[in-house]
Structure 1
């Protein structure tokens, strides 16, 4: 006897997650995730640039190909799929839907009009799975939730709707912690200010020496007293790992996840740095350990370079929070509540997050709520009429979006954050600068807030058939560049090992794996080319398979 199924999809900046839902039982059956994004880049602006440069069809096909592969791992008969729901930020959803995206590259209506760009409809809608390219063997309805406005997407709406953020009367912050940290503040009336801080890939465990996304084998937390690592098991549940000497890596006590750590995710980086600061092993910006490293289970190190990378994220997110406070004339001491969503917001120890500036020090309550974007998509499957209510909520919110990249307040604070973390600026000097700039000073003491852990893991329910990981996605960008000598400097410069150089009968061919490439935020390969011939934008995309075909 067949069942009716739905598929929920969350397209994030660092990866894609999908779930199969038995609609008759209102129950999650299985989950599949990727470890990265199929489009080059570690942030949404790289994905946007790639889409504009290559043409929307190319980026669309890369994402649709990835979703189709994930669906194939969900272990259901896709001919029984009646509904699909997809959530994400405006850039990701526009690429998925294959609609105009250039308007998202500019701030303000006048800039868009000058370029004769017509912004598409980003209200909640239902489209055909066949029309967007999903391969289900049937034509299912695809539900796409609305954006509040073109800069504030369905993922931001999800973190507001799937908590009681909108019902709060006192000043409240909500943040989806990730590579691009979506955040919003509500100050007691219906007015909401939002922003998105380009926190960088360290929040997801990327650009970290042994970093990885939240997945089995990732160190997700560290006990600051014993230095015991907490490691995610095959079901993404945190389990006890080994106690080690942080200065040498010597095992002091074995845990049930002994010898099973593969790397460290963003929350583990936060915990290790917080513990290092608390214990004195870190004196901003240097480590006091013999070799300049802090060791965790299985000799997985945190390096001074990792600290500098992570501190950019700490600074960007705290600068974002403080910019929203300034915009609403809210003092630090008047901020009451904090909602933390996303993988980093779920697995991180909230007090350690406060120690590194990711949570304001003055809040009374901290709520950790999990992946609200995927949850919103799953709820849409269960109740399709929910899309009308979401549209009503989106229409009713008087949201003002602050472009942090253009905000002088954000710029001032972020510069001081870099000085504090990376140059050792004293805390008093930091606060004195804020005061001179008419910005609320940070409290000298962290308030002991009540912490409410609403979920045990980022993906609340993985289903009876468990979790599967799709490891190879995207395609190969390839070109034979005239003048290439095959010196391999581009290969050696790539931090993600995304490049190979192959000899051809006439010259050398350079190949780059899109899902590994860090995009425009890196380009070390281009800078290191001694012949100055390598140009990423000139390369042709060769798909791994037919689902990821891009036009030549």
Structure 2
């Protein structure tokens, strides 16, 4: 949701060198996105972009040759790669973004079925330790993140950052806007993993009730199928619900009687 919000603000020219045209912006009832939220989000985005550049420059990789990006975890599941590229979260020369979902669970499954695979992973780990870059001691990262911080948090013109990148031979890095092709290699965040292994659903359930027409629109609108209703009582499986990052159930209610804040642990 934050990536989408930053993208929307930039795309609609809501961000100026002096601040945000409308501060704060109301997203939904009780939820606002302020200039400070934008700046804090930008610091994180800037650290990732500076990190990508640091790794490529340290390894002698030409950023313009990086055409494929792999996105895992939350980024590999929920983040829109097109918007991520626009705000600077993936290498701008990337033409293909592969979203691979929850790789931690996949690795656990592979190790459970093939314990000998751990030896191969240890060998890979040793190679990574041989060529290790610490951002905290990297002059390149410190230099680049100084400009990122200035741009996101202090209103520094992007032109100054462009001039800094020219010194590293990557001029034009911030100007690549062609949307990447997206290849989603997962079905859901945690998919079914066979008869011998299964994912345990230990997430608590929250319930609430109120007077409504029971039209069921809120249930149909839920993208994660986390919401159900039984005899007038609504139940949410918290492990599936996107919570305040979504709230489509509340927004779709034609009577405006749906109240997400009314839920309590059952």
Equivalent residue in structure 2 for 1:466, among 187, 191, 201: 201
Shift of 1:467: 4.9
Matches within 5 A, 1:371-382: 371-382=102-113
Q: Measured at CA, do residues 433 and 372 of structure 1 come closer, stay the same or move farther in structure 2, by a change above 3 Å? A: same
Q: Which residue of 1 aligns with 2:163?
A: 432
* Number of aligned residue pairs: 201
Shift of 1:301: 1.5
Shift of 1:461: 4.1
Q: Which residue of 2 aligns with 1:309?
A: 40
Q: Which residue of 2 aligns with 1:257?
A: none
Q: Which structure carries more helix by proportion? A: 2
Q: Measured at CA, do residues 414 and 465 of structure 1 come closer, stay the same or move farther in structure 2, by a change above 3 Å? A: closer
| Cα deviations by residue, 1:256-277 (Å, 9 ceiling, x for unpaired) | xxxxxxxxxxxx1111111111
Q: Is the 8 A contact 1:273 1:282 kept in 2?
A: no
Matches within 5 A, 1:319-468: 319-395=50-126, 399-436=130-167, 438-441=168-171, 442-461=173-192, 466-468=201-203
Q: Measured at CA, do residues 444 and 461 of structure 1 come closer, stay the same or move farther in structure 2, by a change above 3 Å? A: same
3-state SS, counterpart of residue 338 of structure 1: strand
Distance in 1, Cα, partners of 2:18 & 2:51: 22
Matches within 5 A, 1:53-452: 268-283=1-16, 286-289=19-22, 292-395=23-126, 399-436=130-167, 438-441=168-171, 442-452=173-183
Uncovered stretches (5+) of structure 1, i.e. residues with no partner:
1-267, 471-552
Distance in 1, Cα, partners of 2:108 & 2:42: 32
Q: Is the 8 A contact 2:40 2:153 kept in 1?
A: no
Q: Is the 8 A contact 1:274 1:352 kept in 2?
A: yes
Uncovered stretches (5+) of structure 2, i.e. residues with no partner:
206-266
TM-score, scaled to structure 1: 0.34
Distance in 1, Cα, partners of 2:134 & 2:98: 26
Q: Measured at CA, do residues 413 and 377 of structure 1 come closer, stay the same or move farther in structure 2, by a change above 3 Å? A: same
Q: Is the 8 A contact 1:362 1:443 kept in 2?
A: no
Distance in 2, Cα, partners of 1:324 & 1:464: 35
Distance in 1, Cα, partners of 2:103 & 2:97: 16
Q: Which structure carries more strand by proportion? A: 1
Q: Which residue of 1 aligns with 2:218?
A: none
Q: Measured at CA, do residues 294 and 399 of structure 1 come closer, stay the same or move farther in structure 2, by a change above 3 Å? A: farther
3-state SS, counterpart of residue 401 of structure 1: coil
Q: Is the 8 A contact 2:73 2:101 kept in 1?
A: yes
TM-score, scaled to structure 2: 0.67
3-state SS, counterpart of residue 344 of structure 1: coil
Distance in 1, Cα, partners of 2:68 & 2:180: 9
